[in-house]
Amino acid sequence: MKNILTNHQSNHKKDHHYQKARKEGFRARSAYKLLDIQKRYNIFKRAFYILDLGSAPGSWLQVAKEFAEHNIIRYNDQFYHRDHYKILGVDIKKISSIENVDFLLMDFTNPDFPNMVQSYFQNKIDLIISDASINKIGNKFSDHLNQINLCYNILDIVKIHLKVRGVLVLKTFQGSDFKKLFSKIKTEFKLLKAYKPKSSKKKSNEIYLIGLQKK
Ligand SMILES: C[S@@+](CC[C@H](N)C(=O)[O-])C[C@H]1O[C@@H](n2cnc3c(N)ncnc32)[C@H](O)[C@@H]1O
């Protein structure tokens, strides 16, 4: 067991994106998945109010902050813009703080969460990103179903809080119930894409749904 763990850890540390994240000051290699998604779909365009579900350790929040700060200057025009940004992260695990980013230490499936989101933003949200994943137990089938279930919970939050024409990024796992989830989310957006970022490990069955222009 010890050897397996040691091997796993050293492989992880040899990983190109892990090393890159350490060098570039990101808290996790997942930052590059979001950056890949941004490159392909420009999800951060005019995003000022951003909610990140399942944020720990916080690399997506770091990325979101960079784009939101940039957007204040870049989109200062006659079209939709704001002179400030609001970024809220939530996780059941603690994160170390990030300046100008707020964080709730709680389970986002808690029935109190929607009210807390409403009182924080006071407005609909431009972009909801979720890299949340269930605690895998190692059984691919039940892990898949549990993750799909979590995605339906997230969809309920999206329906209430994401603005019309808003954007969603949602991590899910491929498997038997993926199609049904895809079809359900598709009814909420003008365009829905499934995308596996280059930086997502090939052996992982994770895939991201990108919802563009909420109806
Ligand atoms: C892969 S990590 C997120 C990594 C993050 N995007 C980053 O770049 O640092 C997934 C996170 O989802 C969180 N999570 C899963 N279900 C949750 C729930 N119901 N409420 C809050 N957090 C949850 C886990 O605690 C875990 O920290």
Beta bridge partners of 173: 206
Question: CB of 94 closer than 6 A to ligand 1?
Answer: no
* pLDDT at residue 80 is higher than 70: yes
Predicted pLDDT of residue 22: 85
Tell me what percent of the residues of the chain surpass a pLDDT of 70.
93
Which residue has the CA at smallest separation from atom 5 of ligand 1?
A: 55
Question: CB of 108 closer than 6 A to ligand 1?
Answer: yes
In the block, which residue shows the tokens 């399942």? Answer: 54
Residue 1's pLDDT band (cuts 50, 70, 90): very low
What is the Å distance from ligand 1's center to 149 Cα?
Answer: 15
Predicted pLDDT of residue 11: 61
Predicted pLDDT of residue 7: 46
Which residue has the CA at smallest separation from atom 10 of ligand 1?
A: 132
Predicted pLDDT of residue 17: 86
CB 158 within 8 Å of CB 214: yes
Give 123 or 10, the one with higher predicted confidence. Answer: 123
Mean pLDDT of the 175-190 span:
98
| For ligand 1, mutation pick of 33, 131, 146 (most atoms within 8 Å of CB) | 131
Domains and CATH numbers, the chain: 28-214 (3.40.50.150)
| Burial of residue 165, with CB atoms counted within 10 A of its CB: 0-12 exposed, 13-18 middle, 19 or more buried | middle
User: What is the overall mean pLDDT for the chain?
Assistant: 93
171 catalytic per annotation: yes
Write down the catalytic residue from 33, 65, 86, 171: 171
CB 209 within 8 Å of CB 182: yes
Residue 10's pLDDT band (cuts 50, 70, 90): low
Share in percent of the chain as helix, strand, coil (round to 5): 40, 25, 35
* pLDDT at residue 42 is higher than 50: yes
Other CB atoms within a 10 A radius of the CB of residue 111 amount to 6
Q: Two tokens at 148?
A: 């799909």
Question: CB of 28 closer than 6 A to ligand 1?
Answer: yes
CB 137 within 8 Å of CB 119: no
Which residue has the CA at smallest separation from atom 20 of ligand 1?
A: 107
Predicted pLDDT of residue 18: 84
19-28, 140-149, 202-211: segment of lowest average pLDDT: 19-28
Q: What pTM, to 2 d.p., does this model score?
A: 0.94
Element (H, E) at 2: helix 2-14
Mean pLDDT of the 83-100 span:
98
* pLDDT at residue 67 is higher than 80: yes
